[in-house]
């Protein structure tokens, strides 16, 4: 049995040096990518664009998450769904509010221009509409989605 290990270092770390070498090579490649001025500039521009878009959406995100309109919309959807014997489920996905009832879906998406309601059925988008939590009627929106 001793003959199998002849020629190996006493500590038996042959594979470790290969893994260390691989890790060093990967780190060197990452540093090269980080030093590429065009890539760094593009990444900074992308981050800045994402940040400015988030700042433009922020008031609409806040309105969607905290307004009485949203609370009333969820209540109306549950009430109308209950009358139709349909379970209405709602889920927050990041900034978006998704409502599902059987094959119907309404997703409220905050954008820089306001809140967009995307209506779909069986996975196919039917319609898009702008929603204003300050002036729109939650019951009307719920009926438009569930009763149509």
**C-alpha span between 108 and 105 (Å, rounded):** 10
pLDDT-based confidence at residue 11 (cuts at 50, 70, 90): low
Q: What is the pLDDT of residues 30-85, one digit of tens each?
A: 777 667 778 778 888 999 998 999 899 999 999 999 999 999 999 999 999 999 99
Q: What percentage of the chain carries pLDDT values higher than 90? A: 63
Residue 1 has a pLDDT of 47
Q: Where are the domains of the chain?
A: 11-56, 63-146
pTM of the entire predicted model? 0.70
Residue 42 has a pLDDT of 87
By CB atoms closer than 10 A (0-12, 13-18, 19+), residue 61 is middle
């Amino acid at each position: 049995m001793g003959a199998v290990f002849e020629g190996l270092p006493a500590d038996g770390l042959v594979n470790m040096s290969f893994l260390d070498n691989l890790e060093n090579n990967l780190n060197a490649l990452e540093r090269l990518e980080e030093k590429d001025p065009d890539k760094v500039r593009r990444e900074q521009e992308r981050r800045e664009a994402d940040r400015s878009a988030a700042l433009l959406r922020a008031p609409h995100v806040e309105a969607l998450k905290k307004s009485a309109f949203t609370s009333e919309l969820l209540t109306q959807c549950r009430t109308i769904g209950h009358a139709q014997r349909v379970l209405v489920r709602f889920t927050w996905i990041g900034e978006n509010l998704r409502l599902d009832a059987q094959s119907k879906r309404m997703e409220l998406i905050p954008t820089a221009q306001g809140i967009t309601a995307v209506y779909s059925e069986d996975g196919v988008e039917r319609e898009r509409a702008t929603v204003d939590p300050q002036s729109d009627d939650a019951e009307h929106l719920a009926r438009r989605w569930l009763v149509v």
